[in-house]
Structures are given as C-alpha cells and as structure tokens.
Amino acid sequence: MSRSNDTLKQIEEKLDSLQETVENRLDALTNELSLVVRGLSLMSETQGAHSDMLAEVLTACSADPGPNTELSTALDRISAAMETQTETLTAIGDHLSGLGQVIEMSVVRGVERVDQMNRAKATGLVDEDGVIIEDIDY
C-alpha cells in the first residue's frame, strides 16, 4: 500500500507542476493580450492625431498656393507620421497574426495533459516513478 501511496503522491506532484505550467502560460497570454489592448489604444490615439492633421490640411488648403506654404509643411508632417504609423501597425499585425493559434494550441495541450494525468491516476497506469505508462505501437 505504501508504494501505491508514493505513486499517487508523485502523480499529484506532477499534476501540481502541470497546473503551475498552465497557470504560467495563461499569465503569459494575459500579458500578450495586455500588449494587444495597449496597441489598440495607441491606434486610437493615432486616429485622433490624424483628425487633427486633417484639420490642419483643410486650413492650409485655404491659403494661397506656393512652394513653401503651410500646406506643403503639413503634408510633409502627415507623410512622416503615416510612415511611422504604418511601421507600428505592421509590427502589431505581425505579432497578432499567430496569437489565436498559439492560445488554442496551448489550452488544448494543457487540457489533454491534465486529462491524461487524471486517467492515469484513476486507472493506476503509472510506473514506480509515477510516470504514465503509454502503449507504443510499432
């Protein structure tokens, strides 16, 4: 009976470790989501800035045309801001492109592993070290 208790204790320790791993991964995903929220907030601020710049363009359009007018200066500033925004949005898009799949795979892996450990614990399919005995078909 002592050997069985030792085995159950080892399985419980492994389940605790697995739970900690899953919790750590969820914390990491929470941090990733926080980055997404911050990115969206920055995008909103950028849109506000673009509205202000558009107002400047409309004001500059009412001035007499010339080579060094407020319009050309405003357009130069807008162009530089839009280049920066494009780079930022591209980086955010690259970061977000695989996030959904990463979250899904992580959750599925964690659930499968917990289920596997629970079944092994319930059926006693573990070796003397508490490692799950798996059937291997060659």
pLDDT, averaged across the chain: 78
- CA distance linking residue 75 with residue 55, whole number of Å: 12
Residue 136 has pLDDT above 60, yes or no: no
At 24 the pLDDT is 87
Residue 43 has pLDDT above 80, yes or no: yes
User: Confidence band (pLDDT; 50, 70, 90) for 138?
Assistant: very low
Residue 80 has pLDDT above 80, yes or no: yes
Q: Is 110 helix (H, G, I), strand (E, B) or coil?
A: helix
Residue 125 C-beta-side C-alpha neighbours within 13 Å: 11
Q: Are 15 and 121 in contact (CB under 8 A)?
A: yes
Residue 61 has pLDDT above 80, yes or no: no
At 74 the pLDDT is 77
At 7 the pLDDT is 79
Nearest to 121 by CA among 24, 40, 18: 18
Domain ranges of the chain: 9-121
Instruction: Identify any residues that bridge with 132 across adjacent strands, giving them in sequence order.
Output: 126
User: Confidence band (pLDDT; 50, 70, 90) for 135?
Assistant: low
Compute the average pLDDT of residues 94-114: 81
Predicted TM-score (pTM) of the model is 0.40
